[in-house]
Amino acid sequence: MARLTSDMWGTGAHDHSSEMVHVFRMRLIALGSSFAAGPGIAPQVDAAAGRSGNNYPHLLARRLGLDSGDSTQLLDLSVSGATMLNLISDDQDTGDKVFPPQLSLLPSADDDDQTIITVTGGGNDMFYIGSMFARTLSMTLWGRIYSHLFMTQDQKQGLENPTIASPDQVIERFNILLDDLHKRFPRATIYLVEYFAMMGPDTVGGRHVAWSQDQVDRYKQTADQLKQIYAQAAKGRANVHIVPLAQASYAHAIGSKQPWVSDGSILNFYRGGAFHPNLAGMKAAADLIYDTHQKLYTKA
């Protein structure tokens, strides 16, 4: 197959070896939670969803030559706080708006379409980032003040009494999602975009985060679990591919000189972007997905 470039998507491409012309009508669909949505990153195109116009789906769409403002070219359904159940079957109440299950918002498939679907999720099912919120708010004086002044009772309850799924349950939810996507879009290319590394080689407990170095190591173990879940979900599925963002971002975790994620400072909490990807991270993720796609569809 000839190398696909951004000019070829959505406009048509010449295969010079056969002198044939084929027109691709590309569509990018993004499903997921906050690590896809981009809370705290300007501009916020949907404040209730915590969704940025500079998240990796929007940046990737531009790399692909798509109009990120046209929902027939980019359909970004990501919502901060979403669990896999919110992707599959459950409504999601963010406090400002109720979002229906993301699968229910998908368009019908068109056999002439080149569809790419990105998915980032599972961490909220395991209370991964939520536990970082809870620890910071409970272990710091400003956190306790912030919680008292700015958080609703429902938000406090969610952090104090979380519902935590097992890794096996999260894998099952991924399987349900991927089975459904394959039925809807049998020719689609699906990318499971791993979580950004939050704890890395430069993260020092008690300095860059409120908790101990032992807890830093436990968060690394949770991150490894998420990687294994993604690998297991993709196993045996020819159209599903892992985007190895966890490894690529490990040297850019909290405490690094060039972090791709935000720390748990009071300013980042106030902006809504604490313990989440920053703009540099979103750009890096979009580049990695684009490069992964190029390699997949390029043959010598």
pLDDT at 154 > cutoff 80: no
Q: Distances in Å between the alpha carbon of 73 and those of 31, 51, 57?
A: 14, 17, 11
The string of pLDDT tens digits covering residues 52-99 is 999 999 999 999 999 999 999 999 999 999 999 999 999 999 989 999
pLDDT at 146 > cutoff 90: no
Residue 228 lies in a domain: yes
Which of the four pLDDT bands, split at 50, 70 and 90, describes residue 130? very high
Q: Tell me the C-alpha distance between 207 and 150, whole Å.
A: 25
The DSSP letter of residue 68 is: T
Which of the four pLDDT bands, split at 50, 70 and 90, describes residue 19? very low
Residue 3 lies in a domain: no
Residue 91: give the domain boundaries: 13-296
- pLDDT score, position 24: 53
Which of the four pLDDT bands, split at 50, 70 and 90, describes residue 9? very low
> Residue 21: beta bridge partners?
14
Rounded to an integer, the average pLDDT of 11-31 is 58
Q: What's at 23, amino acid-wise?
A: V
Q: Which of 133-147, 148-162, 173-187 has the lowest mean pLDDT?
A: 148-162
Structurally, the chain folds into a number of domains equal to: 1
Tokens linked to 203: 């993260």
Residue 216 lies in a domain: yes
Q: What are the phi and psi torsion angles at 151 (to 5°)?
A: -100, 140
pLDDT at 23 > cutoff 70: no
pLDDT at 225 > cutoff 90: yes
Cis peptide bond prior to 43, omega within 30° of 0: yes
- pLDDT score, position 20: 42
Give the CATH number of the domain where residue 50 resides. Answer: 3.40.50.1110
Residue 5 lies in a domain: no
Which of the four pLDDT bands, split at 50, 70 and 90, describes residue 299? low
- pLDDT score, position 112: 56
Write down the mean pLDDT value for the chain: 89
Asked if 292 and 191 count as a contact pair (C-beta separation under 8 A), the reply is: yes
SS3 content of the chain, % helix, strand, coil (to 5): 40, 15, 40
Of 274, 250, 211, 242, nearest to 39 by C-alpha is: 274
Q: Tell me the C-alpha distance between 11 and 241, whole Å.
A: 25
The string of pLDDT tens digits covering residues 255-281 is 999 999 999 999 999 889 999 999 999
